[in-house]
Amino acid sequence: MADGIKVPPCRPYVVRAMYDWMVDNLLTPQIAVNVNFPEVDLPLQYAQNGLIILNISPRAVLNLKIDNKGISFNARFGGVPHSVYVPMIAVTSIYPREDPKLGMYLLPEAGYDDYYENADAGQNKGHLSAVEEVENTGVKEDNQSSSPKSKKKVEHKKPTLEIVE
């Protein structure tokens, strides 16, 4: 940070504010959770592709606590009661069930990097890492020479993000 100022991550404040706003407006708050982070404690059999969506509305959970470290509550999954704990870093978004476009995606924050750098060294930290350039072996549709002596071209494309509904 500039001038050496260290502040805690804003994620817990955003989650609490969005939760309060949704409840005040009679919406159903849901969180998307990356289950691959250490300390996630919930019934993993309900996760799909490393992600689980949790309804955290007052009607769905008991003893909800949203603090700076995580979210905890008691809920039923398939009729079976469970205690749930989600570290704040594992929360990837919060949105109302009624209209997901009103929600927020939570980006990585430097404050969590510091937390996990101090954690045990052998664990999977869930961080993204750089990937080396990969050669495109697909067929190009333009008119390139198809002689056997022609060199394979590496096609460079910018990464894109596509919203799937």
d(CA 28, CA 131): 38
Q: What is the mean pLDDT of the chain?
A: 78
Give the phi and the psi of residue 101 in degrees, each rounded to 5.
Answer: -65, -15
CB 97 within 8 A of CB 28: yes
Left if phi > 0, otherwise alpha if psi is -120 to 50, otherwise beta: which for 77? beta
Task: For residue range 49-106, list pLDDT tens digits in order.
Answer: 999 999 999 999 999 999 999 999 999 999 999 999 999 999 999 999 999 999 999 9
For the segment 129-147, the average pLDDT, to the nearest whole number, is 44
In this prediction the pTM is: 0.67
Q: Is 111 exposed, middle or buried (0-12, 13-18, 19+ CB in 10 A)?
A: middle
The residue among 87, 92, 67 whose CA lies nearest residue 16 is 67
Lowest pLDDT segment from 86-100, 117-131, 151-165: 117-131
pLDDT, residue 42, reads 95
Residue 136 has pLDDT above 50, yes or no: no
Question: At residue 115, does pLDDT exceed 50?
Answer: yes
